[in-house]
Amino acid sequence: MAFKPVTGMLRRTIVLDLSVAMGLGVTAGYGWWYGYHVPAVRHRDTYYQKIEDERARALGEN
């Protein structure tokens, strides 16, 4: 019985696995960064800007 040579199959599989993992990882990273982190930072900055404006207004009235 003759078997096909296995040369290159392992390397091809490893390259495919690493490519898929990197692609999914980068996609998940972008999703988290622009889907959660940026809006949360924007919300936080808006909150602190509002507090700072109120403080400046209160200091200006005295």
- Which tens digits make up the pLDDT trace of 7-48? 677 888 899 999 999 999 999 999 999 999 999 999 999 999
Q: For residues 46 and 53, what is the distance between their CA atoms, to the nearest angstrom?
A: 10
Q: How far, in whole angstroms, is CA 4 from its chain's centroid?
A: 43
Taking the complete model, does pTM exceed 0.75, yes or no?
Answer: no
More confident call, 1 vs 15:
15
Instruction: Supply 60's token pair.
Output: 């200006």
Domain boundary assignment for the chain: 30-57
